[in-house]
Amino acid sequence: MKLLHVGFSNSVAISKIVAIISPETAVAKRLRDQGRENNNLVDCTMGRKMRSMVLTDSDFIFMSAMRPEALMQRMERPGTVEEAVED
Protein backbone atom coordinates (compact mmCIF):
# COMPACT_ATOMS: atom_id res chain seq x y z
CA MET A 1 0.00 0.00 0.00
CA LYS A 2 1.38 3.41 -0.96
CA LEU A 3 1.07 6.24 1.53
CA LEU A 4 1.09 10.00 1.02
CA HIS A 5 2.87 11.94 3.76
CA VAL A 6 0.56 14.83 4.73
CA GLY A 7 2.84 16.34 7.36
CA PHE A 8 4.18 15.75 10.85
CA SER A 9 4.56 11.95 10.50
CA ASN A 10 0.97 11.51 9.28
CA SER A 11 0.16 9.55 6.11
CA VAL A 12 -2.92 8.71 4.05
CA ALA A 13 -3.34 5.70 1.75
CA ILE A 14 -3.18 6.98 -1.83
CA SER A 15 -5.74 4.41 -3.00
CA LYS A 16 -8.31 5.96 -0.62
CA ILE A 17 -7.83 9.61 -1.68
CA VAL A 18 -10.73 11.12 -3.63
CA ALA A 19 -9.64 14.77 -3.69
CA ILE A 20 -7.21 17.30 -2.25
CA ILE A 21 -8.89 20.68 -1.88
CA SER A 22 -8.18 24.17 -0.59
CA PRO A 23 -9.99 24.91 2.71
CA GLU A 24 -11.11 28.47 1.85
CA THR A 25 -14.16 27.57 -0.25
CA ALA A 26 -17.67 27.43 1.14
CA VAL A 27 -17.95 23.75 0.24
CA ALA A 28 -14.75 22.96 2.14
CA LYS A 29 -16.03 24.79 5.20
CA ARG A 30 -19.31 22.87 5.03
CA LEU A 31 -17.44 19.55 4.69
CA ARG A 32 -15.23 20.46 7.66
CA ASP A 33 -18.28 21.25 9.82
CA GLN A 34 -19.97 17.99 8.79
CA GLY A 35 -16.79 16.03 9.49
CA ARG A 36 -16.53 17.59 12.94
CA GLU A 37 -20.15 16.63 13.71
CA ASN A 38 -19.69 13.05 12.45
CA ASN A 39 -16.25 12.57 14.08
CA ASN A 40 -14.68 11.99 10.64
CA LEU A 41 -12.28 14.94 10.80
CA VAL A 42 -8.59 14.22 11.40
CA ASP A 43 -6.36 17.20 12.23
CA CYS A 44 -2.80 16.63 10.94
CA THR A 45 -1.72 20.28 11.23
CA MET A 46 -0.11 20.15 14.72
CA GLY A 47 -1.50 23.62 15.43
CA ARG A 48 -0.29 25.16 12.17
CA LYS A 49 -2.52 26.92 9.64
CA MET A 50 -4.61 24.48 7.59
CA ARG A 51 -3.73 24.80 3.92
CA SER A 52 -5.39 21.72 2.42
CA MET A 53 -8.00 19.08 3.05
CA VAL A 54 -7.61 15.49 1.87
CA LEU A 55 -10.96 13.79 1.21
CA THR A 56 -11.13 9.99 1.25
CA ASP A 57 -13.61 7.42 -0.04
CA SER A 58 -14.28 6.30 3.55
CA ASP A 59 -15.70 9.78 4.39
CA PHE A 60 -12.70 10.78 6.49
CA ILE A 61 -11.28 14.26 6.02
CA PHE A 62 -7.62 14.94 6.82
CA MET A 63 -6.57 18.54 7.45
CA SER A 64 -2.99 19.28 6.45
CA ALA A 65 -0.63 22.23 6.90
CA MET A 66 0.83 21.55 3.44
CA ARG A 67 -0.42 23.28 0.29
CA PRO A 68 -2.55 21.18 -2.10
CA GLU A 69 0.05 21.71 -4.84
CA ALA A 70 2.79 20.26 -2.63
CA LEU A 71 0.71 17.18 -1.84
CA MET A 72 -0.11 16.66 -5.52
CA GLN A 73 3.58 16.92 -6.43
CA ARG A 74 4.42 14.31 -3.80
CA MET A 75 1.88 11.96 -5.36
CA GLU A 76 3.28 12.46 -8.87
CA ARG A 77 7.03 12.29 -8.14
CA PRO A 78 8.56 8.83 -7.86
CA GLY A 79 10.45 8.19 -4.64
CA THR A 80 8.46 10.65 -2.50
CA VAL A 81 5.61 8.27 -1.67
CA GLU A 82 6.16 5.93 1.27
CA GLU A 83 5.62 2.19 0.92
CA ALA A 84 3.83 0.72 3.93
CA VAL A 85 5.48 -2.34 5.44
CA GLU A 86 3.00 -5.14 5.96
CA ASP A 87 3.85 -7.98 8.32
Q: Where are the domains of the chain?
A: 2-83
pLDDT top residue among 83 and 32? 32
Q: Looking at 19-28, 33-42, 58-67, 68-77, which range is the least confident one?
A: 68-77
Closest CA to 39 of 64, 60, 63: 60
List the beta strands (DSSP E) in the chain: 2-7, 10-13, 17-21, 41-43, 52-56, 61-64, 82-83
- The answer to whether 28 and 44 are in contact (CB under 8 A) is no
What is the rounded average pLDDT of the residues 6-13? 94
Is the pLDDT higher at 83 or at 56?
56
Q: Does residue 52 register a pLDDT over 70?
A: yes
